Amino acid sequence: MTTATDDTWRYLPPERRIRPIVQVEGLTRDYPMGGGGVVHALGGVSMSVARGQLVVVQGRSGSGKTTLLNLIGGLDRPTRGTVSFDGEDVTAMSERELIRLRRHRIGFIFQAFGLIPILSAAENVEVPLRLTHASVDEREERVRILLELVGLGERARHRPHELSGGEQQRVAIARSLANKPSLLIADEPTGQLDSQTGRTIMTLIRALVRSEGVTAIVATHDPVLIDLADRAIELSDGRIVSDSTAATLAS
């Protein structure tokens, strides 16, 4: 399965050297509980994610979606197993290396948007650019482009409370793309939105995957969003119980 891809890519001509952006092997996460028990949040998940895809991770509440996304994004460390990002072992990285990974190469989108209330839309998008020490001119230009990209060019000066939930999530999406990450990780990005707005947001993420060439892994418990994905992975009790690509999703 995944190893075949890994062994063969070196022998391909450069334009075909497309290794998976994320590879997960035997990923396990146990949470210790009071009283000596453990919760098996993830029970040995293996999968690889191809570049430029929109992958939806579905499953009921408690099935392990957040645990999986946090491990892939270097926000948590596994009990066993490995995550590699672009061929680098995330599980072996120091805290410092993880910070760099999260700051430069991964964009995060959360259910609760996570915008800073006292900052305008533009200033919120600018935050990650300040952390990577982009120049003032670069920052201004990039913020303008990003807000246009998510359809909020006219709302740059608005504070989060002056924006609808869907608009706030658009700002958060623009912010996630600020440093041109190769991977977007979105945990229930539509969870606080009505179903129509949720669908618009998912359609936007899909459009950005196509136009920006970014890869996206999106957790959702909403089955109606799955038809927008290139691939849907279903978790149940911390294990993959189904994995289907767009061809099978459409039928």
For ligand ADP, the binding residues (CB under 6 A) are 31, 39, 41, 59, 61-67
Q: How far is the CB of 63 from ligand ADP (least distance, A)?
A: 4
Cβ proximity to Mg ion: between 167 and 187 the closer is 187
* Interacting residues of 134 by C-beta distance below 8 A, sequence separation 6+: 142
Residue 50 contact among ligand ADP, Mg ion, none, beta carbon within 5 to 8 Å by kind: none
Please choose which of Mg ion, ligand ADP, none residue 73 contacts, taking the beta carbon within 5 to 8 angstroms, the exact cut-off set by kind.
none
Nearest approach, Cβ of residue 216 and ligand ADP (Å) = 17
Contacting Mg ion within 52-81 (CB under 5 A) = 65-66
**Smallest distance, ligand ADP to C-beta of residue 58, A:** 9
Question: In the bound complex, what is the minimum distance in angstroms from residue 65's beta carbon to ligand ADP?
Answer: 3
Nearer to Mg ion, 66 or 169 (CB): 66
- Among Mg ion, ligand ADP, none, what binds residue 124 when CB lies within 5 to 8 Å by partner kind? none
Nearer to ligand ADP, 44 or 52 (CB): 44
Which token pair is 220?
């959702």
Which residues is 235 bridged to in the sheet?
240
Give Cβ neighbours of residue 141 (< 8 Å, ≥ 6 apart): none
Cross-strand bridge partners of residue 49: 22
* 8 A C-beta contact, residue 146 and residue 112: no
Contact partner, 116, from ligand ADP, Mg ion, none, Cβ < 5-8 Å per class: none
CB-based closest residue to Mg ion? 66
Quick check: 42 and 71 in contact, CB under 8 A?
Answer: yes
- Report the nearest approach of Mg ion to the CB of residue 145 (Å): 31
CB of 189: closest distance to Mg ion in angstroms? Answer: 11
Extended strands (E) in 127-192: 183-187
Tokens 């992958």 belong to residue: 55
What is the side-by-side strand order in the sheet with 106-110?
Answer: 106-110, 183-187, 215-220, 54-58, 231-236, 239-245
What is the helix, strand, coil percentage profile of the chain, to 5?
Answer: 45, 25, 30
Quick one: what does residue 31 bind among ligand ADP, Mg ion, none, with the CB cut-off 5 to 8 Å set by partner type? ligand ADP
Structure tokens at 249: 């999703």
Footprint of Mg ion on this chain (CB under 5 A)? Answer: 65-66
